[in-house]
C-alpha cells in the first residue's frame, strides 16, 4: 500500500477514510473533527501472533501492529486480481490496484447549529440561513447524476 511518499508493507487490514480520525486508537476511532481537510486518513493493521493481536486493547495507539498516516492519494496493491472492500458499509470486490483519492469540495453537508456534540460557544444564533445558497444547492445538477 502506497500513501503518498510512504509505503505500508502487507497490512492485514486497512482503513482508508475521508480525513483522519481524531484518535489513532483503533478501539475508539471516535470522530473526524473536520470533514474538509482534503487528506485521506489511513490506519493499517498487521499482527504476528496472539500477543501482538492483544496489543491494541492494552497499549491502544502505541500498539506495534498499528500504523497511522495521512496522504492525498492511497494505492492498494495486491497479488490477487480483486480484493474485498467495504465502501460506506457496502461489501464489494474491486479490481487491483485500488486507487483512493479525494474530490475536494464535492460534498457539502448542512447540519443543525445545535446538533449533539456542537460547541455551544461557537453557535451564532443571530445568523440566518442564506436561502439563495440552499436553493442553488437544491437546483444545481451534478455532472454525474444524470439530471
| Residue boundaries of the structural domains of the chain | 2-101
Convert the pLDDT of each residue in 59-89 to its tens digit. Answer: 666 777 778 888 999 999 999 999 999 988 8
Which residues neighbour 141 within 8 Å (Cβ) at sequence distance 6 or greater? Answer: 147
CA angle 107, 25, 17 (to 5 degrees): 20
Query: Model confidence over 42-61: pLDDT tens digits?
Result: 888 888 877 777 776 666 66
Q: Which long-range contacts (CB under 8 A, 24 or more apart) does 4-8 make?
A: 4/69, 4/71, 4/72, 4/73, 4/74, 6/69, 6/71, 8/42, 8/44, 8/67, 8/69
pLDDT single digits (tens) 98-144 = 999 887 767 677 777 777 777 766 666 556 667 887 787 778 755 55
pLDDT value for 144: 54
Amino acid at each position: 500500500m502506497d500513501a503518498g511518499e510512504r509505503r505500508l508493507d502487507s497490512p492485514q487490514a486497512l482503513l482508508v477514510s475521508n480525513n483522519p480520525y481524531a484518535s489513532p486508537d483503533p478501539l475508539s476511532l471516535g470522530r473526524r473533527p473536520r470533514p474538509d481537510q482534503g487528506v485521506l486518513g489511513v490506519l493499517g493493521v498487521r499482527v504476528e501472533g496472539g500477543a501482538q493481536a492483544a496489543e491494541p486493547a492494552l497499549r491502544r495507539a502505541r500498539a506495534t501492529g498499528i500504523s497511522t498516516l495521512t496522504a492525498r492519494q492511497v494505492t492498494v496493491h495486491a497479488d490477487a486480481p480483486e480484493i474485498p472492500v467495504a465502501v460506506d458499509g457496502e461489501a464489494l470486490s474491486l479490481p487491483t490496484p485500488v486507487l483512493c483519492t479525494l474530490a475536494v469540495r464535492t460534498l457539502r453537508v448542512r447540519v443543525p447549529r445545535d446538533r449533539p456534540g456542537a460547541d455551544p460557544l461557537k453557535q451564532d444564533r443571530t445568523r440566518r440561513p442564506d436561502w439563495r445558497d440552499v436553493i442553488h444547492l437544491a437546483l444545481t445538477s451534478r455532472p454525474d447524476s444524470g439530471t
